Amino acid sequence: MRKGLQNVQDSVNSQYKIIAVDDEEGIVDSLSIFLKRSGYNFTGVTDPMKAIELVKNEHFDLMILDFIMTPFHGDQVVEEIRKFNQDLYILLLTGHKDLAPPLETIKRLDIQGYCEKSDKFDQLLLLIESGIKSIEQMNQIKKINAELSDTYEKLEKAYLDSIQTLRYTIEAKDIYTRGHSDRVAAFSVLIGQKLGLSDKDLRTLQIGGLFHDVGKIGVPDSILQKEGKLTDDEYSQIKQHPNIGVHILSNATIFEDILPIVEHHHEKYDGTGYPGKLAGEDIPYLARIAAIADSFDAMSSRRAYRDSLPLDKIISEFMRCRGTQFDPKLDDLFIDILENHFDEIKAIQEKYK
């Protein structure tokens, strides 16, 4: 019975690869006998440089590393390994505890433990068994996180697909706004790229642009498609679409980052916009970017009540509204894009006709 249990344990241990690095060949040989007898998949190395290359090119779960070695010490080996491998579990061997590296170095290099060299390997075996248990737990956590991530991505895709359908429903209500959200998203990202924004912010601008008008699902077709001037009451209903959009999207945490864009893309820099009458820096930065993209597409697109405006007229409008409707710095940047990089604007318009 006991032999059967040992065989099972050896089988479990063999799943884990251990590498030992010591410039004394006798130590490596002793560790080889000891650890292979315990069922571990073992590799022994006397050359620190070779050990670094092995770890770089093969998978190892745990490293047993001598501290005082030539041509360089164990902490220098770890320094190199941590440049490309943060997961390797490392146990440091020292000839004497007084020769161990400072605690600060052990923490900085994420060395999980150390022990003194001895003819007996009882203490080392306990540290190895403890290390293997930690590795098992970390592997399990990684597996769970991967499964959760996969599930989250599937849920996110399903929710995005459903909202996309809603977005297409809105655009189907008004032929003049077809492609509008795609262009606003692309123009917003273009501005963000010129500003050097992070990938995270660019993604928020893209998703925010796609769904900024989702609240128009709650606006009557008769208002969206009206060719004449809107009455005050009709305009009041139009002004509700940011709040409706936030209400729709706030039920899913995946849209949390884009809510400021959805809610505030009609705010004006002088505080006369809607729905919050926010002014200046109080308007979320990404919403200020989306506001420029949204206004440009409105001016450059044919609408139910007018034809598209020529480029010189659009530029003069942005100059006129600098500091009143639009953030002055963002306004200047976008005018520069219109004057000097219009080929990029044209490419977006051609893509999303």
Residue 145 lies in a domain: no
- In this structure, what are the phi and psi dihedrals at residue 21, rounded to the nearest 5 degrees? -125, 115
pLDDT for 174 equals 64
Residues 190 and 98 in one domain: no
Residues 102 and 183 in one domain: no
Domain count, the chain: 2
pLDDT for 183 equals 94
Q: What CATH number does residue 265 fall under?
A: 1.10.3210.10
Residue 338 lies in a domain: yes
pLDDT for 348 equals 94
Q: Which of 70, 82, 56 is nearest to 21 (CA)?
A: 70
Taking a C-beta distance cutoff of 8 angstroms, is the pair 258, 167 a contact? no
Concatenating the DSSP letter of every residue in 231-279 gives: PHHHHHHHTTHHHHHHHHHTTSGGGGGGHHHHHHTT--TTS--SSS---
Q: pLDDT (tens digit, 9 = 90+) per residue, 253-310?
A: 778 999 999 999 999 999 999 999 999 999 999 999 999 999 999 999 877 667 889 9
Cα 353–chain centre separation: 31
For residue 326, what are the β-bridge partners?
322
Residues 79 and 228 in one domain: no
Q: Which residues, 6 or more positions from 288, have their beta carbon under 8 angstroms from its beta carbon?
A: 267, 269, 326, 327, 330
pLDDT for 176 equals 62
Residues of the domain holding 115: 2-131
Q: What CATH number does residue 126 fall under?
A: 3.40.50.2300
Residues 295 and 345 in one domain: yes
Residue 141 lies in a domain: no
pLDDT for 100 equals 65
Low pLDDT (below 50) residues in the chain: 1-9
Active site residues: 216
